[in-house]
Amino acid sequence: MSGEVHAGDFLMVGFSGTYLTRSLREFFEEIKPKGVILFKRNIENENQLKRLISDLREILGEPIIAIDEEGGDVSRIDFIVPTPSHMGLAATRDPSSAYRIARIIGRELKRLGINSDLAPVLDVNINPDNPIIGNRSFGEDPDEVALYGENYIKGLLESGVIATAKHFPGHGDTSTDSHYDLPIIPHNYERLVKVEIKPFQRAIRCGCPMIMVGHLYVPALDPEKIPASLSSRVINGFLRETLGFEGVVITDDLEMKAVSSQFEVRKAAVKALSSGADIVLICHTREYQEEAYEVIEEALKDPSFRKEALL
């Protein structure tokens, strides 16, 4: 991105409601976020959704319009073609099924005006006590997760929709939900690379344009007890330098307790961007979004803070 940047270039935000109130319009006109994330709360029917997206584009130009449309239980849109979960796709024993289903999802999203799917989930589902991943994963074999994930990414990209591999560096082997607490990935570096990281390496090689970093404490990558989403060692050091990822890094929602129980959301936003993230995700609370905008705008005045945005 050339030219002057502003705080909104680093923000993806969510909101309540199925249309833009005057207050919401003023909010979006003020902060001009780079992205907007949609949930079920924003969707009633096809005509309403298209109108909402059209209104957002009228204000924001060419924003990222994102959604979690993984298939299976994680589907935000009731009126598109229903698709299997990631685990259901892996159960076919046919990796091309992931490609075909992702193309269907991508075509449906693009038809509605949505240009980014926060999928696939590349977590290796090893821990049977995992409360949040389960059938959202392609399975417990890192090679199969990598293979199905690559096919899914290619299907989305060929449909013209941005794919987002998540939740780096891997949320599969945890018994804690990062919505409520900070999960720990206790394994040594060798095991981490062999299992958790393998699907993300393949995603990078096949050209996945965006990676979502999860709120996970990974001492093998950073001994400081902070979420990976706020860690320069994880993002700048490992994801960028070691793995060579040159695409867009987005955080998981900064309002999740794994982050917000330790950091004010506004401070977490600046810390994530200083650590190498390109976009911070704040899904719910306008007050937090406004505060993050203000502190990022202030940080941009500091010569030591980043001055560029990748999108």
What residues are labeled active site? 179, 252
Given a contact cutoff of 8 angstroms between Cβ atoms, the answer to whether 127 and 76 are in contact is no
The structure tokens listed for 289 are 């979004």
Angstrom distance (rounded) from CA 124 to CA 141: 7
Task: Tell me the CA distances in angstroms from 93 to 78, 86, 96, 155, one per residue in order.
Answer: 27, 12, 9, 17
For 190, the enclosing helix (H) or strand (E) is helix 189-194
Contacts of 130 (CB under 8 A, 6+ apart): 171, 172, 173, 174, 175
The structure tokens listed for 257 are 């307790």
- Would you mind telling me the total number of residues written for the chain in this entry? 311
Angstrom distance (rounded) from CA 231 to CA 225: 9
Angstrom distance (rounded) from CA 108 to CA 113: 9
Q: 224 phi and psi, to 5 degrees?
A: -65, 135
